[in-house]
């Protein structure tokens, strides 16, 4: 009788242990591919086939060349974006120019209300609406540093709405208006010197 109880106890332990292992395997991922995908958001990027991040801007896109904008590629625009803003400025202007213009940078390009599904801004083109450069004109102003190498920063913003101005806005006015509806932003920086090393 004692052996029968011992046998029943052993069977119970085996069944219980087997059930526990089966339950544990059923509720745990067996491979990395079984893990739930909790990060479906892609990061917005701004790139150019003409130069890499931090690279030299070809002279074609400067005052020493054709003075046209480089081709730009946009990717990863977040869901819910209604428009894009693209600006370009030079933060390395000389102090004398800063004093003369009353600014810390020279504004080279201002575009707003760019369609949110834009993936390519072609060379020598304009999309959306144009704002004013530091020359007080619309359009692209190519890199033209007066003193050595400067950085030229392209900033792209994805907005939840569109911008409305009665007259062509400055770069600062566009960025100020965009701040309250910006979903995401990214940058692309190029360098240029008129004295080639």
Question: Mind listing the pLDDT tens digit for each residue in 170-191?
Answer: 999 999 999 999 999 999 999 9
Model pTM score: 0.78
Question: Mind listing the pLDDT tens digit for each residue in 34-70?
Answer: 444 445 568 999 999 999 999 999 999 999 999 999 9
Neighbours of 96 (CB within 10 A): 10
Number of H helices, E strands in the chain: 3, 8
3-state secondary structure of 84: strand
**Residue among 165, 143, 151, 150 nearest 85 (CA):** 165
Q: Residue 2 is encoded by which pair of tokens?
A: 């004692």
pLDDT score, position 48 = 98
Alpha helices in the chain (DSSP H): 2-26, 95-101, 171-179
Radius of gyration of the chain (CA): 29
Residue 23 reports pLDDT greater than 80: no
Which element (helix H / strand E) includes 130?
A: strand 129-130
CB-side neighbour CA atoms (13 Å) of 42? 9
**pLDDT confidence tier of residue 98, bands split at 50, 70 and 90:** confident
């Amino acid at each position: 009788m004692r052996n029968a109880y011992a046998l029943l106890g052993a069977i119970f332990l085996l069944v219980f242990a087997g059930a526990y292992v089966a339950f544990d395997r059923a509720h745990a991922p067996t491979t990395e591919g079984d893990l739930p995908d909790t990060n479906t958001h892609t990061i917005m990027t701004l790139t150019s086939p003409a130069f890499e991040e931090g690279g030299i801007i070809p002279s074609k896109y400067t005052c020493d060349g054709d003075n046209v904008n480089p081709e730009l590629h946009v990717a990863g625009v977040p869901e819910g974006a209604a428009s894009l803003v693209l600006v370009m400025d030079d933060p390395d202007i000389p102090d004398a120019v800063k004093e003369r213009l009353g600014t810390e940078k020279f504004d080279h390009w201002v575009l707003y209300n760019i369609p949110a599904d834009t993936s390519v801004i072609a060379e020598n083109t304009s999309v959306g609406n144009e704002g004013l450069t530091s020359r007080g004109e619309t359009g692209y102003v190519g890199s033209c540093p007066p003193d050595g190498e400067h950085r030229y920063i392209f900033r792209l913003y994805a907005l939840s709405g569109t911008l409305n101005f009665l007259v062509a806005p400055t770069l600062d006015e566009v960025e100020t208006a965009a701040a309250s509806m910006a979903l995401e932003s990214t940058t692309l920086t190029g360098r240029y010197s008129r004295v080639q090393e």
